[in-house]
Each structure stands twice: as structure tokens, then as C-alpha cells.
Amino acid sequence: MSEGGGKTYRPWEPRRYRQQAHSPASKLPEGDLVFFLLDVVPTLDLRRFYAPYEKETRGGPPFDPAMMVCLLLYAYCVGVFASRKIALACERNLAFVAIVGENRPDFRTISDFRKDHLAAFKDIFVQVVRLAGEAGLVKLGNVSTEGTKIQGNASRHKAMSYGYMKKEVERLREEIEALVTQAHWQDESEEAALGSRRGDELPEELSRRETRLAKIEAAMRRLEAQARLEAEEERKRRAEAEAARQRKGEKRRGREPKPVDDEPADNAQMSFTDAELHIMRTNNKGWDYCGNAQASVDGTCQIILACDVTDETNDKKQAEPMAQATLETVTQAAIERPTDDDTGEPEAIPATLDNGYYSEAATEGLEKLGFDPYIAAGRIRHHEEPTEAAESPKTAKERMAAKVRTEQGRELYKQRKTIVEPVFGQIKEDRGFRRFSLRGLKKIRGEWRLVCLTHNLLKIWRYGCVPVAA
């Protein structure tokens, strides 16, 4: 029965599976990850997963959502991400059998459940962070934020540049006009052969070209809207820079910049398999359609406090949104912020970010949210000695650079490489998550959240200090 007592589900009895002859429990180690998850999942609040089924009376009993959640969590923990591979593992892998028993879902059921409940995993993410906080794995002594490019489920061979789109649209329109003219002249001669058909059906060649033309024109509109947005941001940036020069009484150096163009560049590209992703430079110095996956990580035990995926090619605008998301998670997970011993007031949370996040606006935004930012405002040499802050730095960038170069600043900032960067290594190298399975930015964000919450579960399991229900 369900938690609300309304809907009947297929039976799920993992304890009975353990006790059967040749059961997973008799073959797997006592402290195996799968048994940890089988103990933890029943302690989670899964009402959002059950809710869609409670009022549905059609069809046979569905699989128990608790079982499906446990299955997906275990699969992502051990690096099995494709629904077909998960379904195959349910037939051949003892740990998967310990979850599903003899009642095994097929790949379509697994795929549909994941897509339908991606938003609900946000609640699980917060609950897992709460477990980590209760276990003492989150201290908020240093929260480090970083981004990494993860390949999208989009093909570079199904993409087209804006310049080629314009040529292709012109060619298709000419061919469509020729086909329409040809069909008009053939109408009278073919009328007797049409029989009961109306006679106004589109010829296959014409229909195919009109469909392709519509797709290309839609892609052009998306590129043009993106170009207008980027042009507006560039005008705003230039206006702010000019205002700053006016305040300081400085003159512009170099040549006058070219006027901002609202039209996309001819080499601007868009993929037809996932139009929401942009082509980005990857670590191997190549280019691919990627999502810019973000994570804010606590320095105590590498627990991810916030995660997101953006279509921005750099991290310039991500510092403040990630800080806001971190505070929301900390509040929802009831994790207490460090307080001043004398006043009892919450202390600013140290936040370390690399140079890709720096801007004056980002620094101000982090400080307003209650963070103490340490952002590299330029290159920091490895063996550079710490220096005292300058008496009167002239600009915000100089003040941040001086702050990071102090002894305390260097001590905090050097921790960044041991906090957040190993997390991406564990996700990409150890678990093999290098490509999103889903398409569309909303679904990609949900899948990245699933990846991050299973990272946190692995941390809790490895530290062996999670509180579970009796």
C-alpha cells in the first residue's frame, strides 16, 4: 500500500529478498552500498513521488516509487546511467536484484519514471544534505564554487551555422516554389487518377522541404533572439565602463570600438537535436555542445550544497545565483551557520572562487548574501609570498586581489583545489558521468541534481555516520 493508503502498488519486499536462498544478502558484503540505500530510502519523505499515482485508477498497479527511487539512486552511485543498462543490470547484477527482486522494471518504465520525477529529486537533494549536516559532514567553513563542461546529448553533425542557414533557407524557398508550380501544371492531367482523394495533399518532396524550412527558420529565430540579448548586455557593459571613466576623469585608450551588431555572426551555430545547448570549448581544446555544470561544495567532507546547469559558456554570472542556491539549501536542510562567539550573530561564510567568477557585481552580491568572498582577480603564482593588504587600493579589483594575497586569503584560497575540483574528478573519472542522457536544459538540470545528490550519498556512506530509522 502507499503511504496515504489510497493506491495499491506492486509488492516490494527487500527484506524477504535478502533471506532467500542464494540471496544478494548472502553473497554481498554486509556493509555494501546497496544495503545502505535500502536502509536510507525508507527514511526519506517521498510524498512527491507517490502523489501522481494516488488519484490514477487506470491500468495495473505501478512499481512502488520507493523501489524506483532506490534503483535510480543506486544506479547513479555506481555509474550506470542509461535506462537500458539499468534494466539489464536488474537481471544480472546481485546488488540490483537486491533492490527489485523478481519484479523487474523494463527500460521504458525506468526512463519514464526518471523523466517524470526529475523535479521531485530536488526534495531528495535537500534531505540528503540534511542527513550530511546531522552527521557533522557540513561546517560551512569554506564553500567553494566551480563549473565544468559536460557534453550534452546533441550531435555536432546535426548543427548548422547562421550563415549556412541563410543560404539553405533561400535554396529551400526556391525549390518549394518550383515544386508548387510543377504541381499546379500537373493538376488537370492527374485529376482522373486521384480517385477519392481530395487532390490537395502536399507531394512528399514538398512536405519534406517545408518541414526542413520550418526547422531552420525556427533555429534562426533562436539565434537572432540570443544575439539581441548579447548585444543588449554588451551595450550595458560599455555604458557602465564609460560611466566609470567619466567619474575618474579618464580618457578612452585605443580605437573606438565597432558598433554593437544585433544580428548573429555567420559562424554562430545551433544544434537541431538540442537547441538549448551552446557549443563550448572543452578541456581537450576541442568544441562540443555542452552544459556548464555548476557545484558549490562545503570544505569539510566535499558535500555538494547547490548545483545547477547553465547554457552560459563562462562563469561570470554564476557566483551570485549559486550563492543564493546554497543559502536556500542550508536553510531548508536546517543547517546552522557559524556564529560569532561574542555577539551570537551569524558569521559571513567564506566563499572561494576562481578568476572566472570575478566581477565587481559578483563580489557585492556575495557580500550582501552573507558570504565572505575570496575570488582570484588575476593570476596567483604558486610560490608567491603572502603580502599585507595595500593601505588604499584604488579599485574593487585591486582590493580583492590584495585580500586574496594576504596570509588568511591565501590559506583559504589554496583549499579550493582540494574542495571542489576533486568532486568533478570523482563524478567524471570514478563514476564515468561525462555526458547527459536527457535533452533540454530543464531535464539536464534535473539529471545533474541526481548526479550531485548521489555524490553526497556516497560521501555519507563512506564516512559511515548516517542516522537511519530503527
> What pLDDT digit, counting tens, does each position of 416-427 carry?
999 999 999 999
pLDDT of residue 468: 47
Q: Is the pLDDT of residue 61 over 50?
A: yes
Q: Which pLDDT value is given to residue 382? A: 56
The rounded Cα 456 to chain-centroid distance in angstroms is 15
d(CA 149, CA 331) in angstroms, rounded, equals 28
pLDDT higher at 392 or 91: 91
In this predicted structure, the answer to whether residue 7 has a pLDDT above a threshold of 60 is yes
Contact 309, 294 (CB under 8 A): yes
- The phi and psi torsions of 263 (rounded to 5 degrees) equal -90, 140
Coarse DSSP helix, strand, coil percentages of the chain, rounded to the nearest 5 percent: 50, 10, 35
Amino acid at 40: V
Query: Looking up cell 498497479, which residue turns up?
Result: 61
Name the helix (H) or strand (E) containing 137.
none
Cell of 453: 545528490
Number of helices (H), then strands (E), belonging to the chain: the values are: 18, 8
Q: 85, 81, 84, 42: which is closest to 65 by C-alpha?
A: 42
| Residue 255 neighbours by CB distance under 10 Å | 6
Instruction: Calculate mean pLDDT across residues 148-166.
Output: 74
Q: Is residue 1 predicted with pLDDT exceeding 50?
A: no
pLDDT reported for residue 101: 86
Q: How far is CA 56 from CA 6, 67, 108, 111, in A?
A: 10, 19, 19, 20
Instruction: Give the pLDDT of residue 399.
Output: 87
Rg of the chain over all Cα atoms, to the nearest angstrom: 28
b/e sequence 203-216, b meaning 16+ C-beta within 10 Å: eeebeebbeebeeb
Name the CATH architecture for the domain at 138-154+277-440: 2-Layer Sandwich (3.30)
Nearest to 436, CA basis, from 202, 271, 216, 300: 271
The C-alpha cell that represents 29 in the structure block: 558484503
pLDDT value of residue 342: 76
Per residue in 94-145, pLDDT (tens digit) is 999 999 988 899 999 999 999 999 999 999 999 999 999 999 999 999 999 9
In angstroms, the CA 299 to CA 141 distance is 7
Which pLDDT score, from 0 to 100, does residue 184 have? 62
To 10 degrees, what angle do helices 33-40 and 65-77 make?
Answer: 140
pLDDT in tens, 387-415: 554 556 677 888 888 888 888 989 999 99
Residue 33 has pLDDT above 80, yes or no: yes
Residue 105 DSSP SS3: coil
pLDDT of residue 203: 61
- Residue with the bigger pLDDT between 239 and 337: it is 337
What is the value of pTM for the model shown?
0.78
Q: Quick check: 400 and 375 in contact, CB under 8 A? A: yes
pLDDT higher than 80, residue 254: no
Rounded (10°) CA dihedral 164, 167, 173, 176: -70
Every domain of the chain with CATH number 3.30.420 lies at 138-154+277-440
Which pLDDT does position 188 carry in this prediction? 53
The amino acid sitting at 9 is Y
Give the cell for residue 70.
532506490
